[in-house]
Amino acid sequence: MSKAKLELEYLINTSPIILFNCLTTASGLSEWFCDDVNLKDDKFTFFWDGSEETAVLKNVRKGESIRFKWEEDDDDETFFEMTIRIDDLTKEVALIVTDFYEDADEEEELTLLWDNNIHKLKQAIGG
């Protein structure tokens, strides 16, 4: 069964440079995404309440986006990605999150998870 794609957009009141740092560094990610992060080569190990998951860094575009692939996920077409977009007219900074879920029940749960994480991100950066 193929997974469905979820795209969420959040306005973040901060500079793109600060936001990119929060998305791409172990210290930045541990402030809002998880409890702790270990980085070795292109593998990010994320720790939450005694559990851990490892994701491989698949792509990074400096100042723009980062894409990860969960090691345990066998589906080669899935990933999670965070992309920074700046509105040409208003200069508002938006974070676009792309993730995947298996069934309709997971869509709401995944959306809530990202909503909570982005709330923590905004608190961490004051945006």
Q: For residue range 9-66, what is the model confidence (pLDDT) as tens digits? A: 999 999 999 999 999 999 999 999 999 999 999 999 999 999 999 999 999 999 999 9
DSSP state of 12: -
**E strand intervals along 12-115:** 36-40, 43-48, 51-61, 65-70, 80-86, 93-101
Question: Residue 81 belongs to what domain range?
Answer: 4-125
Tokens coding 73:
């996920």
Q: What number is the average pLDDT over the span 63-89?
A: 95
Which pLDDT belongs to residue 66? 98
pLDDT (tens digit per residue) in 2-14: 899 999 999 999 9
Q: Report the SS3 class of residue 79.
A: coil
Q: What is the pTM of this model?
A: 0.93
Number of domains, the chain: 1
CATH of the domain at 106: 3.30.530.20
